[in-house]
């Protein structure tokens, strides 16, 4: 799962979320380390209205929460979703090593092609590397 900070940067750069079963999210008004929720037909459903999308909490007794507007939620895309959003720019994922705070550590490189130029994004977490590559793509598209 990508960090809250990267998810917020993706949203702020213009990444649009259309909630679907299996999507994970946090509620913006809560602490960045607050609960992560999952959209699921049984517990949290996305309801589309002319005024916008609402995430309805079905039968959650531990929350005094019936629903939240999608604008008030922060999508935490999965690794597969990030890769899919990169579309034809994605060239590959490679396991490598990188210099970390404790010496050489395992890392992942995501290679994409942006504006005809190859670019590589490296992180210890492959989802973060995909997210950084997607952020670069979204920023170019804005």
Model pTM score: 0.84
Instruction: Please state which CATH class domain 79-141 belongs to.
Output: alpha beta
* CA 29 to chain CA centroid, nearest Å: 18
- The pLDDT tens digits of the residues spanning 109-139 come to 999 999 999 999 999 999 999 999 999 999 9
DSSP label of 136: H
Q: Give me 140's structure tokens.
A: 């170019």
How far apart (Å, rounded) are the C-alpha atoms in residues 121 and 93?
A: 10
Domain definitions of the chain by residue range: 4-75, 79-141
- The pLDDT tens digits of the residues spanning 38-62 come to 898 777 888 888 988 888 887 654 5
What order do you get walking across the sheet with 73-75 strand by strand?
Answer: 37-38, 24-27, 73-75
Cβ proximity of 54 and 47 under 8 Å: yes
Length of the chain counted residue by residue: 142
């Amino acid at each position: 799962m990508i960090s809250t900070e990267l998810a917020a940067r993706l949203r702020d750069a213009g990444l649009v979320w259309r909630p679907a079963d299996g999507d994970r999210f946090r509620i913006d008004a809560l602490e960045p380390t607050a609960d992560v929720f999952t959209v699921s037909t049984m517990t949290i459903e996305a309801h589309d209205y002319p005024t916008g999308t609402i995430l309805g909490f079905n039968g959650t007794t531990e929350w005094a929460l019936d629903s939240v507007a999608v604008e008030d939620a922060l999508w935490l895309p999965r690794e597969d979703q990030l890769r899919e959003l990169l579309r034809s720019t994605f060239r590959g994922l490679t396991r490598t090593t990188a210099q970390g705070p404790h010496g050489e550590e395992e890392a992942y490189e995501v290679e994409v092609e942006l504006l005809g130029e190859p670019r590589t994004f490296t992180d210890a977490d492959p989802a973060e590397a995909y997210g950084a590559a997607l952020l670069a793509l979204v920023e170019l598209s804005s």
